[in-house]
Amino acid sequence: MPTNRIGKAVIVLENLTYFYPGSDTPALENVNLRVCEGEFVLVAGPSGGGKSTLCRVLNGLIPHFYGGRLRGRVLVDGINVSTAPVRELSKRVGMVFQNPVNQIVNVTVEEEIAFGLENMMYPPEVIGERIEWALKVLGIEHLRRRPTHALSGGELQKVALASVLALRPKILVLDEVTANMDPYSTRELLRLLRKLKAETGTTIVLVEHRLSEAMQYADRLVLLNRTVVAEGRPRDLLKEDVAELLGVEEPPITRLFRRLGIDSLPLSVEEAVEVIKECVEAKR
Amino acid sequence: MRGGEEVIVAENVWYRYPNGYTALRGVNLRINRGDAVAIVGANGSGKTTLIKHFNGLLKPSQGRVLVLDTDTRSASVAKLARWVGIVFQNPLNQFFRDSVEAEVAFALENFTGEVDPEKICSVLRELGIEHLRRKSPFEISLGEQRRVALASVLVYEPEILILDEPTAGLDYNSKMKLLSILKRLHEKGRTLIVVSHDIEFLARMLLNRVVVLSDGRVVFDGSPKEAFYNVLLLLSSRLVPPQIPELVIRLGLEHLFNPLSEDEAYDFLRSLIGGSFLAGRES
């Protein structure tokens, strides 16, 4: 399938099949996927379709923490996930989970962001700079000295993101992180991810149910339902009309354009405006 | 004043957390019986703090909250919970039974005294989690946990139903089911309050009011059309319009029509671009 594969593959999944302990049905079955350096991949699929499982494989929580049976090959930045220690992976893969409560361990926001940096033995001045930067890009400078237990769900999510982004990982894996974020923050996060990708070549794997906002930023859309059901440029996949069948929410403008019988399906509202204007011109 | 119709009244409500942070700064809000209200606002604007006042989990530092004419300061949470069912963002905080079925059964029996396996089954079925009924609520996915939390409130049909971020972690099919469940409850005259960032979901819900919170204050209270077509209000409250209103605004057509969903937009846009374009396609 044609995609803009620029660099070398940093994530390689070959015939990956995985069973959670005590389960007879695989959570992932025969998954094949390559993600290139600097690629922005959006992963969508129904609940129970294996999206979170896939994320756990990418940072080694599967199989090292969860156990279970893993077949096939998983290489992340050249490292074999099944045999490498989790520590090796966590240097390369920054991961933020759906539920930020699970990953926040420190008392204040500032300490939380400093925690990972200190573990990686960065010098104090670098730690200071990274904290400043992370607070700023996520727009949470005002939360700096606030206790983490008194933050709202969305604020916690931003703190979890800040503490991972501050580590500048080569690969970012984000599992439905926007679910509790306000719409404006979601838009800003997506713009930030695009910028990181362009400026530092960060590879991004973003799991999302809602495609309305995220689609225009991704190089590739992967639809996962235990196995890769479809993949390709977001625009091409929309045309194939597979998303909604799979329990993935299509943007309202896509549904509208399809009903109107307009062939060129827009990825953003801006694009939709252009297309409608052209249609009106053509009518004259 | 239509006293009897108001089911929740917040009068000049201030709330300061024990650490000194002031989350609510003089909220005034009246919810009428049968309202379907969305409460929206930026992260940290006070939405969750406010709804915790509606079942007495939090009591105002200043001002007062009346639920069905009862001051929340003089009623127990257990009593208020019979009238006000809240499904919180983090479902794990509310589970304590060892199976999904037992969890839902407990809520039903506790609040209504009823033991009705049929009713439990039908709620689980409606939410697409019937197959999980023997599983522990702790071993299922977050999206599934949210549906279990929802089931344990839906099952006893409280007079007032409050949902905090109900669509987070739900896939499209589950969302559409939730939409139809909410519609049915609305038609039965229940009062619904939904706190959500999922603006596209809200655009599809049959809401009669949108309340915008900003920095612990109510900055807007009006119809969904007024709210979702008010770009200045939305941006200054860190919100964005749903896609269909944004499309109409960018086309400069908002003075002609104000659709919220693609269904409402279809006919007008079809006639706008229709004629030659579709004729060209069909020939």
Residues of chain A numbered 109-148 and touching chain B (CB < 8 Å): 143, 146-147
- Total domain count, chain B: 2
Asked if residue B1 belongs to a domain, the reply is no
Domain residues for B192? 6-240
Contact between B173 and A247 (Cβ < 8 Å): yes
Let me know whether B255 and B209 are in one domain. Answer: no
Let me know whether B126 and B151 are in one domain. Answer: yes
Q: Which ranges of B90-206 would DSSP assign to H, the alpha helix? A: 100-112, 117-126, 142-154, 172-187, 199-204
Which of the 8 DSSP states describes residue B74? G
Contact between A212 and B200 (Cβ < 8 Å): yes
In angstroms, rounded to a whole number, what is the distance separating the alpha carbons of residues A219 and A237? 12
Q: Return the sign of the alpha-carbon dihedral for residues B212, B58, A153, B160.
A: negative
Give A86's pLDDT tier (boundaries 50, 70, 90). Answer: confident
Residues of B in contact with A153 (CB under 8 A): 43, 48, 89-90, 165
Angle at A187 between CA A54 and CA B215, to 5 degrees: 115
Let me know whether B173 and B53 are in one domain. Answer: yes
pTM of the model: 0.87
- The CATH number of whichever domain residue B83 belongs to comes to 3.40.50.300
Residue A58: helix, strand or coil by DSSP? helix
Asked if residue B131 belongs to a domain, the reply is yes
Let me know whether B136 and B83 are in one domain. Answer: yes
Mean pLDDT value across residues A155-161? 92
Let me know whether B225 and B251 are in one domain. Answer: no
Asked if residue B56 belongs to a domain, the reply is yes
Quickly count helices (H) and strands (E) in chain A.
10, 10
Minimal-distance CA residue of chain A relative to B168 = A179
What pLDDT score does B112 carry?
85
Residues in chain B: 283
Residue B104: helix, strand or coil by DSSP? helix
Nearest-CA distance from A201 to chain B in Å?
29
Let me know whether B183 and B168 are in one domain. Answer: yes
Asked if residue B257 belongs to a domain, the reply is yes
Q: Which two tokens stand for residue A214?
A: 């995220």
Let me know whether B200 and B267 are in one domain. Answer: no
* Segment among A131-140, A149-158, A188-197, B28-37 with least mean pLDDT: A149-158
Let me know whether B39 and B119 are in one domain. Answer: yes
Q: Which two tokens stand for residue A272?
A: 């939709």
User: ipTM score here?
Assistant: 0.84
Let me know whether B230 and B103 are in one domain. Answer: yes
Residue B204: helix, strand or coil by DSSP? helix
Q: What is the pLDDT along chain B (283 residues), one digit of tens a residue?
A: 344 489 999 999 999 998 888 999 999 999 999 999 999 999 999 999 999 999 999 999 999 999 999 999 999 988 899 999 999 877 777 777 889 999 999 989 988 888 889 999 999 988 888 999 998 888 887 778 888 998 999 899 899 999 999 888 788 888 888 898 899 889 989 999 999 999 999 999 989 999 999 999 999 999 999 999 999 999 999 999 999 999 999 999 999 999 999 999 998 888 888 654 444 444 3
* Segment among A97-106, A215-224, A229-238 with least mean pLDDT: A97-106
Q: Is A71 left (phi over 0), alpha (psi -120 to 50) or beta?
A: beta
Q: Which two tokens stand for residue A51?
A: 């999206």
Let me know whether B166 and B176 are in one domain. Answer: yes
Asked if residue B145 belongs to a domain, the reply is yes
- pLDDT, one tens digit per residue, over A25-57 is 999 999 999 999 999 999 998 888 899 999 999
What is the distance, to the nearest Å, from the Cα of residue B127 to the centroid of all Cα atoms in its chain?
16
Mean pLDDT value across residues A211-217? 89
pLDDT at A92 over 50: yes
A7/B85: higher pLDDT = B85
In angstroms, rounded to a whole number, what is the distance separating the alpha carbons of residues A161 and A170? 15
Residues of chain B numbered 158-187 and touching chain A (CB < 8 Å): 165, 168-175
Mean pLDDT value across residues A128-133? 96
Let me know whether B134 and B17 are in one domain. Answer: yes
Let me know whether B193 and B140 are in one domain. Answer: yes
